[in-house]
């Protein structure tokens, strides 16, 4: 199976999610997760697809696998799981709130990957219920990469939940990026994620947005690509604060060490993140 093969199932999952979501009620008392796991074996990375992803995100078109790319490969599996009958939350309206990615060891881009996706837990949130989705990648039977993502299903709640984190300290500006109106379509073509909120103003309005919204995972990837020596980044934690409406001009900001970063428009912060790096030497 090539990387393009699982991505073809993503559109079908989006359609299935639209059909099943009306029959699921966010915040339903006693909602639980099943132990379902979905696995795709021998997933081979298509060089052309990887090069397209690198171009749109700012990574080199050749070299080590970008830290964020296995998430792209596993996302169709995650969507298939979240749109299944046994998944308790409606997928329509789910908001990606955070992601943590860890690379355990380098894997050549020519090695096939085994991808596994499962839902880890449901957590009360001040705005509803949050599910944690896990994606794991193995090569030769050994773990090489994993991600954990939070997706929020918004609904009224009376549960007392601790307030969110304090506003982030503004970091020094490093670069300014002009994001075109078709960025969502271009990234969707490279990643397979053609969620309607990212494509056109008309399709975005159907979900309450005045214009198309930039993909959160594009924002993470673009920030990592901008960092000094991105090949040495071993892990990242990113929190999505506010959508970026396209077209837009945004500021990439980072601290002196490069371990903390932000994406913002004026004083409005869209994304905050932090990274850890390998010791001496680049990843090969």
| 242-269 tens-digit pLDDT | 999 999 999 999 997 769 999 999 999 9
Quote the pTM value. Answer: 0.88
User: Where residue 106 falls among pLDDT bands split at 50, 70, 90?
Assistant: confident
**Residue 110, CA atoms < 13 Å, CB-side half-sphere:** 1
Residue 116 has pLDDT above 70, yes or no: yes
* Residue environment code for 158-181, b if the CB has 16+ CB neighbours within 10 A, otherwise e: eeeeeeeeeebeebeebeebebee
Please report the pLDDT score of residue 284 as a whole number: 30
Q: What mean pLDDT is predicted for residues 121-127?
A: 87
Residue 79 has pLDDT above 60, yes or no: yes
Burial of 249 (C-beta count, 10 Å sphere; 0-12/13-18/19+): exposed
Residue 237 has pLDDT above 60, yes or no: yes
């Amino acid at each position: 199976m090539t990387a393009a093969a699982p991505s073809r199932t993503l559109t079908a999952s989006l359609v299935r999610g639209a059909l099943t979501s009306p029959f699921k009620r966010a915040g339903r008392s006693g909602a639980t997760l099943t132990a379902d796991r979905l696995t795709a074996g021998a997933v081979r990375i298509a060089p052309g697809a990887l090069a397209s992803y690198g171009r749109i995100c700012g990574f080199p078109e050749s070299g080590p696998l970008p830290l964020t790319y296995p998430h792209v490969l596993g996302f169709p599996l995650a969507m298939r799981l979240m749109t299944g009958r046994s998944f308790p939350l409606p997928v329509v309206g789910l908001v990606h709130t955070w992601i943590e990615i860890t690379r355990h060891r380098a894997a050549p881009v020519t090695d096939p990957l085994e991808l596994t996706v499962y839902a880890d837990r449901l957590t009360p949130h001040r705005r509803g219920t949050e599910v944690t989705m896990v994606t794991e990648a193995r090569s030769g039977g050994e773990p090489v990469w994993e991600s954990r993502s939070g997706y929020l299903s918004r609904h009224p709640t009376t549960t007392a939940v601790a307030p969110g984190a304090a506003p982030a300290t503004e970091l020094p500006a490093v670069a300014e990026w002009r994001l075109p109106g078709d960025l969502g379509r271009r990234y969707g073509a490279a990643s397979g994620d053609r969620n309607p909120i990212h494509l056109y103003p008309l399709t975005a309005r159907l979900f309450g947005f005045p214009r198309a919204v930039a993909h959160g995972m594009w924002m993470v990837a673009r920030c990592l690509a901008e960092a000094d020596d991105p090949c040495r980044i071993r892990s990242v934690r990113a929190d999505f604060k506010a959508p970026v409406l396209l077209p837009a001009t945004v500021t990439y900001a980072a601290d002196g060490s490069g371990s903390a970063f932000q994406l913002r428009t004026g004083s409005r912060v869209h994304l905050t993140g932090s990274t850890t790096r390998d010791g001496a030497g680049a990843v090969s």
